[in-house]
Structure 1
Amino acid sequence: MRYVAIGDSFTEGMGDTQPDGSERGWADLVAAGLAAGLGEPIQYANLAIRGRLLQPIVTDQLDAALALDPKPTLLSLNGGGNDMMRPGSDMGTLVDMTEKAIRRCLDEGVKVLLLFGADPSSRLPFGSSMRRKGDALTAAVAPFTRKYDLTFVDMWHDEEIRRAGYWSPDRLHLNAAGHRRVASTVLTALGHPTPAHVIDPGPAAGGGLLAEARYYREHVLPWIQRRLRGQSSGDNRTGKYTNWITVPTPQPA
């Protein structure tokens, strides 16, 4: 198996930060799970870049993915989350771009895993607008499962992962527990049954005006400032694995 992942920060793995500062994330965990489930090493590439809109994902990243040598056998596609945060984003255009990317992969003989990311909207400013867009986009792409006989994983409507304990302090990116839950869901959908990762309920997260003020100062205002300057968190970045790496079969304990 040769598995390549394209997308934005969700697929790059932001929030699942390792001790060395690198980001792991659900796609890395899926690659490891596939190697374990198949009982043999697999080839893996991850071209996702934080902050990317869907258009460069289904053009630049998809071009690079299909140009890998040898060609991938499985490609995971996720995108549109950053588009939904922009005012005036057109859901119809996102659906069309998604379908064209799927067709291109299938024409190349590459199996498609289509994902819709987890829903962060309940704790975000103007989150109700984002949820409406996410609901509409998910409903529009879900029929592609039958139309193109592909694997579709809908994390947007997973009620469990909406809980605060699965999210990073910025409330936009999943933490390690969130990425583990996505990975377990994806592996099961790909035919490698994996118990869904669930965290203990734990105490309710603290809130209050001071906590909200800190959140806006540390996370919301920097995001607004980047938008005003026309900058992205992914500027001058490349995917973390732009060529095939070997993911080994886990050794028995």
Structure 2
Amino acid sequence: MSTTLTPAVDVRRAGDRFATRIDWLDSKHSFSFGPHYDPANTHFGLLMVSNDDVVRAGSGFDTHPHRDMEIVTWVLDGSLVHQDSTGHNGLIRPGLAQRMSAGTGILHSEKNDAAGAVQDVHFVQMWVVPDESGVTPGYEQLDISPELDRGELVVVASGMTKHADDRAISISQRHAALYAARPEPGAVVPLPTAPLAHLFVARGSVELEGSGVLGTGDSARITASDGRRLTAGPDGAEVLVWEMHATLG
């Protein structure tokens, strides 16, 4: 992004998100999704979807198609079974980074893996547009629990050259990277310096420098992100941060 951006922070509260509630799913949508449409809230930067999902035990998303999208899933509680038409399958649990590249087209399902169908699974699923359409569909996952224990931002998924050696998994988008952190109470974490950054508080609370307290489910859309700091609240926090150097036209 070559244009000069004016620094700004747009805080979005958890209770203001779109919601889908059916017998097996409780889903909160940070952006327009499915039947929920607001022309002023379709994306931020390259991030098209940020869904905060709770899937009831013994249920899940049946086989359905995607194409030309980089889909990253981050589990907070429980475990999720992934299966797709390319033959990949995986068990996604907290601390495990997972990416599916839909590319030219893929079919997949996501099911709650609760043994005995007693535990809900809670996860955040995020979609970013790829920088090239028609790529070969793919899948990747990696356990990064030890890195998360440090409490600092960990590069979960990235297509950026600067992260070639330290990213957990790759995405087909050279202008974006996803970080996760689990800071302890009172810990201070600097956000990336970038034209655009999206902060989502997955659990706990943080105080974002210059913008006050954000609780569970709150988010901040930061333009001209200048490395401002967040401080974890009294119960600690788990945050997801997108660094982006481009936006949709």
Give the TM-score normalised by structure 1. Answer: 0.33
**Larger relative contact order (Cα-Cα within 8 Å, sequence gap ≥ 6):** 1
Structure number with higher strand proportion:
2
TM-score by length of 2: 0.34
- Greater percentage in helix: 1
